[in-house]
Amino acid sequence: MIQAAIMHGVSHQPTLWRLVLSQPRAFAGATAWSVTNTFFDFLPEVMVGLAVDSAVQGQKSLLGSMGIVDPWHQILLITAAAFLAWGVESWSQYRYMIAWRSLAQNLQHQLRQRLARHVLGMRMDVFERRSTADLTTVMNDDVNQIERFISDGIHSILSLIVGFCLVFAFFATMSPVAAMLAVLPAPLVVIISRLYRRRIDSRFLSLRRYSGAISDAISNGLRGFMTIRAFGQADWEVERISRQSATYRQAAIAAARLSAGYVPVLRMAIVFGFAGVLLYGGHLAVSGEIAVAAYGTLVFLTQRLLWPMASMALLVEGYQKMQASLVRIGELLALDIHCPISKMPDRNHEGGPVLIIDDLTFGYEKSNPLWTLNLNVSAGERVAVVGRSGSGKSTLLKIILGFYEPTVGQVIVSHHGKPAAGASGISYVGQHPYMFSGSIADNLRYGNLTATDEELVAVCKALGLHDFISALPDGYRSALGEDGCLLSGGQRQRLAIGRALLRQSSVLLMDEPTSALDRDSAQRVFEALRRHCQDRAVIVVTHRADEHCEFDRVVDVSA
């Protein structure tokens, strides 16, 4: 229920309050501890005033008028009350810190889940237009920015509001005029803060976007390490990163200048209130209208009322950074997530073709389609898809997977005799297969999380990988490095094929699966396909004419 609430709350443009109110009990508990902490944190200044009053006035003090005549007893009572107040204040601080940070971590976790589900469910054409590094920045750095503000910022807001109300109430009982003087800077503080927010808002949003651009430049440099070194372009890449960094630096310095000027201006506005209380309170004390202790308490509490307003600079800055991150998250969530799913017929496909391509037409421009295709493929049948470069062979596989929407027509996949939505009944081996962080066994089991060790070994033996893996110090538990960097191109390709074979699917799609293999290794792959794909349809995109004999049919999409 909570997760559903937050998902609704962050639809398109999330807001801070929708996020925290998605967990009302946790928010209410954290708020209660913050209010309690602020109240007991306010008491020590009052007790200092009472102690001075007791020491100066003795039996005529406030406590004396309440029946505690002995000044020493008054001091003892004030000391005990101060000890209790500090204890409660310390305990409530511990509790509010845990409460806000737990709430922040829960919301951070759920936001990441929501973003991950959204991004991994995007249409392929939408995903391909986004920088991976920028997506990473949004899903990690921007979400972290929100967590940091919820952990500390909301308590600071509550503390400021509650403290202001408490101090103003105390002032009003002592001297309404002093109360008015103390809050005199408040409207000015609000005006200055609003002007600051308007100017700093766009700057922080730009900084978050520049941060994503830097991440993209660095990521490209690291992922293209071998190409950069091979072409001798390290200096050019450093210059590209430097340009992005310089842009960020200039924007950050401009934002820092604006931020640095906010605090001094705010302090000068606040000093008018402090000076007013100092002068007027002093006049009341000199004229005998209030006690010296009351005057001291007024001065102490004026600082408690006004100087926290100076911290609004950091508070507003943190809020604007968080707001900029929320805008970027909202922009990402607003992207079209719809992945087309083929319309499924009501009939059962058992005994019939497991893949039906019905009047499928595709083109990058609707008025100029690349091809129109009709194709039925039965279980155990192997079909080669050929054609000139750019004719849409790989695109055909992506349409079958549901990544792209065809211009006209439909694709129907049957899995275990039943219609299968999207890619649920399909295995896939891409041109450049991706290896996940983890071990060889982890990557193989990505196709079938319940696969046994024996099944892993059987597939790897069929593909000629078992001897190589067994010779490694940790065998199937050996780490692959980032994106399988410790493997050769051929080993990566065969491992990806093994991963696809382990998935219990009705259709196997392969895009140039033998492009990095020699003739003997390619032959072993086709032998494995014959052995493991007797009950599934196999569609292979290939440029190698010498492999056509391995297929039951050859379809030329450029014909």
Q: In the listed set 274, 299, 333, which residue is the last one of a domain according to the structure?
A: 333
Q: Report if residue 344 sits inside a domain.
A: no
Please, which residues have CB within 8 angstroms of residue 347's CB and are 6 or more apart in sequence? none
**Do 446 and 402 fall into the same domain?**
yes
Residues 181-194 pLDDT 10s: 666 677 777 777 77
Report the range of poorest mean pLDDT among 308-322, 478-492, 502-516: 308-322
Residues 6+ apart with CB under 8 A from 547: 384, 514, 522, 526
Domain endpoint, select from 302, 333, 364: 333
Q: What is the mean pLDDT of the chain?
A: 80
Question: Which amino acid makes up residue 434?
Answer: Y
CA-wise closest residue to 368 among 350, 392, 352: 392
Q: What is the mean pLDDT of residues 102-128?
A: 85
Q: What is the pLDDT of residue 93?
A: 93
350 falls within a domain: no
Count of helix runs (H) and strand runs (E) in the chain = 21, 9
According to DSSP, the residues that pair with 555 across neighbouring strands are: 385
For helices 24-57 and 292-310, the axis angle rounded to 10 degrees is: 150
Position with higher pLDDT, 295 vs 471: 471
Q: Are residues 192 and 246 located together in one domain of the fold?
A: yes
- Considering the domain boundaries, does residue 342 fall inside one? no
Cβ-based neighbours of 508, under 8 Å, separated by 6 or more: 426, 427, 428, 429, 500, 501, 529, 533, 536, 537, 538, 539
Same domain, 90 and 166: yes
Binning pLDDT at 50, 70 and 90, where does residue 224 land?
low
CB 466 within 8 A of CB 457: yes
| Residues 245 and 317 reside in one and the same domain | yes
Residue 295's pLDDT band, with cuts at 50, 70 and 90, is confident
Residue 339 lies in a domain: no
Q: What is the CATH number of the domain that holds 133?
A: 1.20.1560.10
With a cut of 90, say whether residue 101 has pLDDT above it: yes
Is residue 369 packed enough to be buried (19+ CB in 10 Å), middle (13-18) or exposed (0-12)?
A: middle
| Amino acid 417: pLDDT | 47
Note the pLDDT of residue 180. Answer: 72
pLDDT in tens, 5-38: 334 444 456 788 889 999 999 999 999 999 999 9
The pLDDT value recorded for residue 550 is 83
- Together in a domain, 245 and 106: yes
Does residue 74 register a pLDDT over 70? yes
Give every CB contact of residue 514 below 8 A, 6+ residues apart in sequence: 493, 521, 522, 525, 542, 544, 547
**What's the number of domains the chain is made of?**
2
> Edge-to-edge, what's the strand order for the sheet holding 553-556?
426-429, 507-511, 537-541, 382-386, 553-556
Residue 34 near residue 153, CB atoms below 8 Å: no
Q: What is the per-residue pLDDT for 304?
A: 67
The residue type found at 221 is: G
pLDDT digits 0-9 by tens, 304-348: 666 666 666 677 778 888 888 898 898 888 886 655 444 434 334
Token pair in block for residue 336? 């079209």
% the chain with pLDDT above 70: 85
Check whether residue 250 and residue 180 sit in a common domain: yes
- Look-up: residue for tokens 């007893």? 73
Q: Domain range spanning residue 520?
A: 355-556
Q: What are phi and psi of 94, to 5 degrees?
A: -60, -45
**How many whole angstroms separate alpha carbon 255 and alpha carbon 142?**
18
* Same-domain status, 284 and 411: no
Neighbours of 358 (CB within 10 A): 15
Q: Could you tell me if 415 and 329 lie in one domain?
A: no
Final residue in a domain of this structure, among 282, 299, 333:
333
Q: What angle do CA 170, 175, 179 make, to 5 degrees?
A: 65
Q: pLDDT-based confidence at 106, cuts 50/70/90?
A: very high
**Do residues 193 and 243 both lie within one domain?**
yes
pLDDT at 121 over 70: yes
Q: Is residue 338 part of a domain?
A: no
Residue 297 and residue 409 in one domain: no
**Domain at 401, CATH number:** 3.40.50.300
- Report the sign of the C-alpha dihedral through residues 5, 8, 12, 14, in that order: negative
Condensed to tens digits (0 to 9), the pLDDT of residues 418-440 reads 444 445 578 888 888 888 878 99
pTM above 0.85, yes or no: no
Measured in degrees and rounded to the nearest 5, phi and psi for residue 538 equal -120, 125
Residue 343 lies in a domain: no
- Using one digit for the tens of pLDDT, what is the confidence trace for 362-387? 776 666 677 788 888 888 899 999 88
pLDDT band at 487 (very low <50, low <70, confident <90, very high): confident
Q: Is the pLDDT of residue 452 over 70?
A: yes
Q: Residue 520: inside a domain, yes or no?
A: yes
In a domain, 518, yes or no: yes
Are 48 and 172 in contact, with CB atoms under 8 Å apart? Answer: no
Q: Does residue 442 sit in the same domain as residue 408?
A: yes
User: Residue 279's CB: how many other CB atoms inside 10 A?
Assistant: 11
DSSP label at 365?
B
Q: Are residues 301 and 424 in the same domain?
A: no
Proportion of the chain above pLDDT 90, given as a percent: 14
